[in-house]
Amino acid sequence: MGSLQSRFQAIYLIVMAPIAILASYYQYNLAETRYSSREQSTLDSVERSFVDVTSAFEQSKLLMDLMSSAASEDLPLPDRCRLLNQAVDDASFTVFAAGIASVSPSESCLWGGNVEGLADVDLLSGNRDDIVTVENNHHLTIRRSVGDEVVYLAFDPGEVDLPEWVTSYGFLVASDPNADEAYQELLANAPWLMDTDARGIVKNSIDESIVLLPKTTLGVRIFASLSPEILRPATYLIVLRASFGPFLLLAIALLIADLLVRRLVLRDINLLSDEMHGFMNNRTLPQTDKNPSVTNETAQMRKEFSRLARQLLWEEAEAENRIRNANALQREIFHRVGNNLQVVQSIMRLHSSNAKTPEEVALIKRVSVRLRIISMVHEVLHRTVDAPVLPVGPGIGHMIQKLRREEILAENLHIAEAYDDVSVGVNRAYTLCYLIAETLVHFSNAGATALKVQVKDAGEKLCLSISAQEADDMVADPVGARLCEVYARGLKAKTNLASTGTETLFEAVFPKDI
């Protein structure tokens, strides 16, 4: 979320995602309504296909009522049989068998012959409800107990002109012992079957969609199997289909918006960023030409940056000019100091030539040596005067070489040097070199045969150590000791001078920075 592009994408999603969700919900409701309407249309179409069958069921009910009325009345057998035959002949559906069966075969009226099992009086003894069974080829039989007699009817409800998306059909009767398993299965999936007027679409055990129509007058339910393409998809599929379109449009809109942001917004900002990097690396000013595609905000930012860049370039030029002037002045000062030191040395040589006593000659010689040391340190450090800090090792090494060339140190004196990679400020470098030079000259005058000069890095501090071998002729030098104290105080150093047998060690520990 650090970039402008990612923040814009987040804002876009926060604004558009609820709209996509609402659109998906709207699409889902439309799909639900469409599938519900298709289910109702399917139910209506199937129910219209079975109008003739339903009419046959109603007529069979009337025929059974007529035969039951004839069986309950005390009519002579010929009249009863004639009434039965007339009723069957007037039926508009196909009747295979009908009759009024008594315990005595001689008192039974049969039409179409005695179908096995239909006239079984003992089977219906005491049962006042109609027993409807479904035979093969969609044939039905109805049996009813009337007193001690049985009224029965076997008929074909007729052919059905099924819609093309209906694969098969059948009849479901709760009282049919052959249909108990199928009826119980559908009843478990559709409890509303107990409602006489209910209709709907349920799933069977093999995941087929079954249309169930309302119960007919015989208590028979008509069912029809639907082809797979008419089925209602699963709920999760409806949700996916309803969400696909809105979220696809959301993704496409996000990509287009991202492209436009890159093109119209981020490109200007990236160009301005490149110009800033160019100014930082090469000090090139940004282009101020008016570009029609640049936004007003970006143009204002470029204008402000150009103004600041020009001001910075002017300030840098002024600073560089001041530094050049300061360096020139400093070099001039160093040059004049060097000239003054040479003048002082010349004056000392004149005094030396006019000295009359050995004490005067020795004093002038000691003063001249210290002036030469100051002049050499000044000359060595003057080479790197432009640097704010100086490396310790090269400066001390150059100074020792100058002391040798000027024969201030003994000719046969061996000097070993070891310096860590450390640097100090210019002023402290002068003081350090003066302290080292004064100590080296003192040890050289004492007859030392070997010296070892070390500067070690001790974290926040530096440690200077100068060891001398066989410096036995140590002569008290109050001026030299006083100068070493002054130099040590300038470095804020703690000094120590110790002698162990043939070795004399001088140590000074001082902070790197003050």
Q: How confident is the model at residue 5 (pLDDT cuts 50, 70, 90)?
A: confident
Spell out the residues 6+ positions from residue 290 whose beta carbon is closer than 8 angstroms to its own: 299
Q: Chain-wide mean pLDDT for the chain?
A: 80
Per cent of the chain over pLDDT 70 is 86
Q: How confident is the model at residue 115 (pLDDT cuts 50, 70, 90)?
A: low
Interval 231-235 mean pLDDT: 75
Whether the pLDDT of residue 182 is over 70: the answer is no
Residues 423, 388 contacting (CB under 8 angstroms): no
Whether the pLDDT of residue 124 is over 50: the answer is no
- Edge-to-edge, what's the strand order for the sheet holding 109-111? 109-111, 94-101, 149-156, 140-146, 131-134
Higher pLDDT: 330 or 505? It is 505
pLDDT for 348-398, tens place per residue? 777 777 777 887 777 777 778 788 888 878 777 776 555 667 888 888 888
Higher pLDDT: 4 or 51? It is 51
pLDDT, position 508: 92
* Cα 398 from Cα 403, distance rounded (Å): 9
Concatenating the DSSP letter of every residue in 35-100 gives HHHHHHHHHHHHHHHTHHHHHHHHHHHHHHHHHHHHHHS---HHHHHHHHHHHHHH-SSEEEEEEE
Interval 257-266 mean pLDDT: 77
pLDDT for 435-452, tens place per residue? 888 888 888 888 888 899
pLDDT for 375-389, tens place per residue? 878 777 776 555 667
Q: How confident is the model at residue 453 (pLDDT cuts 50, 70, 90)?
A: very high
Interval 248-258 mean pLDDT: 85
Whether the pLDDT of residue 262 is over 70: the answer is yes
Higher pLDDT: 227 or 321? It is 321
Interval 136-162 mean pLDDT: 84
Which residue, among 158, 127, 157, 156, has the nearest Cα to 143 in the 3D structure?
127
- CA angle (221, 222, 224) in 5-degree steps: 140
Whether the pLDDT of residue 64 is over 80: the answer is yes
Interval 293-322 mean pLDDT: 83
* Cα 124 from Cα 250, distance rounded (Å): 71
Whether the pLDDT of residue 463 is over 90: the answer is yes
Interval 121-145 mean pLDDT: 72
Concatenating the DSSP letter of every residue in 364-411 gives HHHHHHHHHHHHHHHHHHHTTTTSSEEEHHHHHHHHHHHHHHTT-S-T
Q: What are phi and psi of 259, to 5 degrees?
A: -65, -45
* Cα 240 from Cα 133, distance rounded (Å): 45
Which residue, among 209, 237, 219, 479, has the nearest Cα to 369 in the 3D structure?
479
Whether the pLDDT of residue 123 is over 80: the answer is no
Classify the C-alpha dihedral 119-55-89-76 as positive or negative: positive
pLDDT, position 185: 65
* Cα 399 from Cα 377, distance rounded (Å): 6
109 Rama class: left (phi>0) / alpha (psi -120 to 50) / beta: beta
Within its chain, how far is the Cα of 155 from the centroid?
A: 73
Per cent of the chain over pLDDT 90 is 4
**Alpha helices (H) in 194-233, listed in sequence order:** none
